[in-house]
Structure 1
Amino acid sequence: MGYSLIILRDICAQDSLGDLKKDSVDVVDLLLSNDLTNVILSLLHDLEPPAIIRKTLKDSENGELNLGSTKLCPYKGFRRDLVAIIGNCAYRRKNVQDEIRQKSGILLLLQQRVTNDDNPYLREWGIWSLRNLLEGNAENQQIVADLQLQGSVDMPELARLGLKVEVDQNTHRAKLVNIPGSYTKPVERVGPLKFMEKMSIREPQLHIQAHHTATFTNSKC
């Protein structure tokens, strides 16, 4: 299955406006006419959400966890390949953009813009797909513009720096704040004079060590 999806991904990367010669058949349009978009969206929808999305839903204020289907990826990179196919199909194809919106696929693809150990480069393909869904499509852009930020996800990388993301209740925008009680020791910045001062202290030590080594070698001879 993995090789089949990769082949589909590469086929759908064709630019229908530039890659095809006159009187040639648009293979992508042929695939789309056979319900390719619906099949790929259904496969993606049947998967359980990415781990970081599941954690967010589980830690939500209402405490309810509604994940829908809990099917696992049959192989590493399966989710990424599905997102890649959708993103390539949506490139400069308004009919695909509209179909994905009508099938409530925009929110589904927004969930794929995260890092995932089982799907390398999922975030990058998710960003590419969303970009292609919104390009030149006012209806899709309006759906994303109407979304409201409900909460934030705790990122271990930020926590190690003593930071976390909070949502401003007035502006509904995300902002970085310090974690109370945390302190990260700042990295010492050494200027040119300080660096020369340290080097002047270390050089005699290195010279003495080299001298002792040479003396020891001569005594062995």
Structure 2
Amino acid sequence: METQLLLPNGDESPINWVLVLETLERLTSQCQDEGSRSKINTENFRNLGQFLPQITKEENSRYDVLVMAFRFLRNSVAACERNQDAIRQDSTVFEVTANFLQLEGQPETTSNFVGDSSDRVVAIRCALQFLANFIVENETNAVLMSSVFSTHIVPLHKNFHQDEKVVQYIAMILHLLLKQCPANITVDQELLSSLLQNLHLEFVIYAMESLVAQVGVLGSLYEDAEPKLRIQLLTFLNERADVLNNLNEKVVTMLRDNFVERSDFILKSKVGDSDDVFSWEIAILLETLCGISATGNELLKSDSVLMTTVLFLLRQIQEVGKSTDGMNENAFAPVEDLQKLTSKSTTQSSVDDIRAHPTFQFKAHLIRLIANISHRSKSNQDLVRELECLPIILDNCKIDARNPFIGQWSVLAIRNLCEGNDTNQLYIREVQRIDTEKLLPKLELVDLS
């Protein structure tokens, strides 16, 4: 049997709150069942749309009424297109909900509502859940929601950033909007920062994955963001191989171009200057490109400007690193004597200083990127030889505590540079500086063609 929401007469005073709450509770319970949910009298939404605005005008109005009202609405539209459409067609309930959240998102909000703070937060949570359910698999509703997202929903995270559920539900709405109408969505740096600080929440991860998949949104965010926020965003990408492997070509192009344009920032790094955010951005950009290129990304392989930039950077870093000796004299000097790091005279802070510096692993990642984008790419293989970087790569087939695994990446690079390239194979054989038979026993360079 359907339950009709009983609204107080507008002329009656006082309002019978007990009756209102009991009716809302019955409706909420009824909507928990999917079959009953689709049979509920839609007049309830119209009546509720007339009733909700009165709450803010009553001296004795309470958050607990809003909690029950939003719980009813949340349950009523869950996987129910009929109820979603009914609420949109009348629109009053949607507008009142959006306006309520906008008010709560204003700085130093003063409210007419009475009740403890927990009721206030629960009402906000339930309202956000209602709006999320309202747009699930309903593009028309999503377009309506997108018109108020930036102005009514996003500001909430400033007042309630410490409430993980509020952040989670905002992220849920963002994720659903990006899936259905991404062109209508803008995300500011404050919201992006809030999301990146809550990556332990499930829907925050979903929202971030949807965000990086949208070229326009991600591109404008990255270009306008402060370096620290860029670093956080790149770190998110690096920690998720599945996201890296599915980046849009325009996003890859944007990241590549940023590295090419700003890569020389790393050369300004100095020992002890571990807070250089510009150098950190370049270091993490390089690591990101390494991850993207690991799957044979043709866009990176086909760009001679990227390879040229990487090779010139490698030559400069090699030259700077050899200009002085000792682990503390410049940020690129190789640390070949591991005993210096393990001896009693070496403090833990000295070891940590090496690891917590943007140049840590940087040269190894340059060689790693060379290895990846020269794989079965004759033009890139030849470019490495023509720019005289083969000897540099050979010279790094050794231990360097500042660049863990640089020897292994160098061996892989030599292997890829020689595969199918007779000229590079001949060059390697004629190099007398190292014993190739000893260092590269498994390559069988003559047979790589």
> Normalised by the size of structure 1, how large is the TM-score?
0.51
Q: Which letter does structure 1 place at the counterpart of 2:331?
A: L
Corresponding position: 1:118 with 2:388: no
Shift of 1:80: 0.7
Q: Deviations over 1:60-109 (max 9, x none)?
A: xxxxxxx5699633521111111111110111111100111111111111
Query: Matches of residues 58-73 of structure 1 in structure 2 within 5 Å?
Result: 67=322, 72-73=331-332
Aligned residue in 2 for 1:95: 379
Partner Cα separation in structure 1 for residue 433 and residue 315 of structure 2: 22
Please say if residues 87 and 125 of structure 1, whose CA atoms lie closer than 8 Å, have aligned partners that are also in contact.
yes
Corresponding position: 1:38 with 2:308: yes
Q: Which letter does structure 2 place at the counterpart of 1:6?
A: E
Partner Cα separation in structure 2 for residue 148 and residue 29 of structure 1: 30
Partner Cα separation in structure 1 for residue 408 and residue 434 of structure 2: 23
* Inter-CA distance 138–41: structure 2 relative to 1 (3 Å threshold): same
State the secondary structure of the residue aligned to 1:47.
helix
Q: Which letter does structure 2 place at the counterpart of 1:117?
A: A
* Inter-CA distance 117–143: structure 2 relative to 1 (3 Å threshold): same
State the secondary structure of the residue aligned to 1:107.
helix
State the secondary structure of the residue aligned to 1:148.
coil
Please say if residues 301 and 374 of structure 2, whose CA atoms lie closer than 8 Å, have aligned partners that are also in contact.
no
Partner Cα separation in structure 2 for residue 116 and residue 49 of structure 1: 15
Between the aligned residues of both structures, percent identity stands at 25
Calculate the aligned-residue CA RMSD, in Å: 2.8
Corresponding position: 1:28 with 2:300: yes
Please say if residues 115 and 122 of structure 1, whose CA atoms lie closer than 8 Å, have aligned partners that are also in contact.
yes
**Alignment partner for residue 82 of structure 1, among 337, 351, 366?**
366
Q: Which has the higher contact order (CA 8 A, sep 6+)?
A: 1
State the secondary structure of the residue aligned to 2:404.
coil
Please say if residues 301 and 373 of structure 2, whose CA atoms lie closer than 8 Å, have aligned partners that are also in contact.
no
Partner Cα separation in structure 2 for residue 150 and residue 107 of structure 1: 10
State the secondary structure of the residue aligned to 2:371.
helix
Unaligned runs of 5+ in 2: 1-281, 333-357, 439-449
Partner Cα separation in structure 2 for residue 104 and residue 89 of structure 1: 17
Q: Deviations over 1:89-132 (max 9, x none)?
A: 11111110011111111111111111101111111101110100
Query: Matches of residues 109-148 of structure 1 in structure 2 within 5 Å?
Result: 109-148=393-432
Shift of 1:48: 3.7
* Inter-CA distance 7–96: structure 2 relative to 1 (3 Å threshold): same
Q: Which letter does structure 2 place at the counterpart of 1:28?
A: L
State the secondary structure of the residue aligned to 2:308.
helix
Q: Which letter does structure 2 place at the counterpart of 1:27?
A: L
Shift of 1:2: 2.0
Q: Tell me the number of residue pairs that the alignment of Structure 1 and Structure 2 aligns.
A: 127
Unaligned runs of 5+ in 1: 17-25, 52-66, 152-172, 175-221
**Alignment partner for residue 7 of structure 1, among 288, 299, 302?**
288
> Normalised by the size of structure 2, how large is the TM-score?
0.26
Larger Rg: 2
State the secondary structure of the residue aligned to 2:360.
coil
Please say if residues 88 and 129 of structure 1, whose CA atoms lie closer than 8 Å, have aligned partners that are also in contact.
yes
More helix per residue:
2
Q: Which letter does structure 1 place at the counterpart of 2:418?
A: L
Partner Cα separation in structure 2 for residue 14 and residue 69 of structure 1: 37
Aligned residue in 2 for 1:188: none
Shift of 1:148: 2.1
